Amino acid sequence: MTAKIPAVKLSNGFDMPILGLGTWKSSPGVVGQAVRDAIDVGYRHFDCAHCYANEDEVGEGLNAKIKEGAVKREDLFITSKLWNTNHPPEMVIPACKTTLKNLGLEYLDLYLIHWPLGYKDGLERFPTDENGKMIFSDADFVDTWPEMEKLVEMGLVRSIGLSNFNSQQIDRILKIAKIKPVVNQVECHPYLNQKKLMEFCKSKGISITAYSPLGSPDRPWAKPGEPGLLDDKKLKEMASKLGKSVAQLVIRYQVERGNVVIPKSVHKERMAENFNVFDFELGEQGMQYIDSFDCNGRVCAELGAIDHPHYPFHIEF
């Protein structure tokens, strides 16, 4: 029997486990076993997306564990995301149904608009022209949102939210929302601690999920040998004084801020290490020290869409 981990109470009353497993870059052939291992370790929250092109195998892993009686569907918290090519209103319900079919589930706990950016619809997830330039669509996310609300009314998803939205874009959604977004999932770690966006979201009843909490060292565009967050000398010093790893330190940092956090790993020992963050505290001083590492160190900037009219990172937060 694994210990139950703490939950964040969402503004619509649902509980969301504060720690989940990321699945971006978890390859087909590997991710199914990773999901099974994660459930054995104690993970009950999985962060998925159509864009990750592995939802079918994530679903196989989840359903195998449900079938063997290790977990029940209602013990799990499953998030997925509407991809940028599916923003036109008539595409939202079919896109969610495709994700449910791939995952082999009847409902999602949370469905997010992955980015405020619409891309040309079609078969490619990253549609580009003959010069390699991303092809945008003129779909506006405020027209997408009412269809997200319909998914709740249809019982296909319990909660809806946003990802990679800035404060002005969130305000545009809030102006028209009948059902409010409960989460904004954004990059968040000591080099990009998102203090202002966190405070803004909190004031609107929106919880933060911290993605790339370890600095995403396996992102495809990382330069070979480039030192990252997990190599930070000062964080290493602090972690070793506490008898913890840097990964545990930066995951704990999010937990103490009340942010949901979704580190990715396909290795069972690392999943266990990342999960083992509930037996120590950083305290006010430790938290303030980690806050001081903030340096606008964004690693997931979706630079191919920097010219998009809804590109979210041209303003401070």
Ligand X SMILES: NC(=O)C1=CN([C@@H]2O[C@H](COP(=O)(O)OP(=O)(O)OC[C@H]3O[C@@H](n4cnc5c(N)ncnc54)[C@H](OP(=O)(O)O)[C@@H]3O)[C@@H](O)[C@H]2O)C=CC1
Report yes or no: 142 and 190 within 8 Å, Cβ to Cβ. Answer: no
- The β-bridge partners of 209 are 185, 260
Q: Name the residue nearer to ligand X (CB basis): 137 or 254.
A: 254
Q: Which residues bind ligand X (CB under 6 A)?
A: 22-25, 47, 114, 163-164, 185, 211-219, 230, 245, 247, 262-267, 270, 273-274, 300
Q: Which of 258, 260, 282, 265 is nearest to 211 (CA)?
A: 260
Ramachandran region of residue 155, left (φ > 0), alpha (ψ -120 to 50) or beta?
left
Instruction: Return the percent helix, strand and coil in the chain, to nearest 5.
Output: 40, 15, 45
Q: Which active-site residues does the annotation give?
A: 52
114 is in an annotated binding site: yes
Instruction: Build a one-symbol-per-residue string for 212-231: x at contacts with ligand NHF by CB under 6 A, - elsewhere.
Output: --------------------
Q: Name the residue nearer to ligand X (CB basis): 90 or 92.
A: 92
Q: Name the residue nearer to ligand X (CB basis): 61 or 68.
A: 61
Task: Report in angstroms how near the CB of residue 74 gets to ligand X at its nearest.
Answer: 22
Contacts of 293 (CB under 8 A, 6+ apart): 190, 191, 193, 232, 234, 235
Sign of the CA dihedral with 216 first, then 218, 223, and 226 last: positive
DSSP annotation of 57 reads H
Task: Report in angstroms how near the CB of residue 49 gets to ligand NHF at its nearest.
Answer: 6
If binding is defined by CB under 6 A, does position 117 make contact with ligand NHF?
Answer: no
Task: Report in angstroms how near the CB of residue 130 gets to ligand X at its nearest.
Answer: 27
Q: Name the residue nearer to ligand NHF (CB basis): 109 or 245.
A: 109
If binding is defined by CB under 6 A, does position 302 make contact with ligand NHF?
Answer: yes
Site for ligand NHF (CB under 6 A): which residue of 8, 19, 31, 49? 49
Q: How many helices (H) and strands (E) does the chain have?
A: 10, 10
Residue 22, contacted partner among ligand NHF, ligand X, none, CB below 5-8 A by kind: ligand X
How far is the C-alpha of 163 from the C-alpha of 184, rounded, in Å?
Answer: 5
Q: Name the residue nearer to ligand X (CB basis): 42 or 217.
A: 217
Site for ligand NHF (CB under 6 A): which residue of 10, 18, 21, 24? 24
If binding is defined by CB under 6 A, does position 305 make contact with ligand NHF?
Answer: no
Contacts of 6 (CB under 8 A, 6+ apart): 17, 18, 255, 278
Residue 57, contacted partner among ligand X, ligand NHF, none, CB below 5-8 A by kind: none
Residue 159, contacted partner among ligand NHF, ligand X, none, CB below 5-8 A by kind: none
Ramachandran region of residue 167, left (φ > 0), alpha (ψ -120 to 50) or beta?
alpha
| Dihedrals phi, psi of 221, to nearest 5 degrees | -95, 10
How far is the C-alpha of 211 from the C-alpha of 301, rounded, in Å?
Answer: 12
Residue 197, contacted partner among ligand NHF, ligand X, none, CB below 5-8 A by kind: none
Binding residues: 114
Per CB under 6 A, residues contacting ligand NHF are 24, 49, 51, 300, 302
Binding residues for substrate: 114
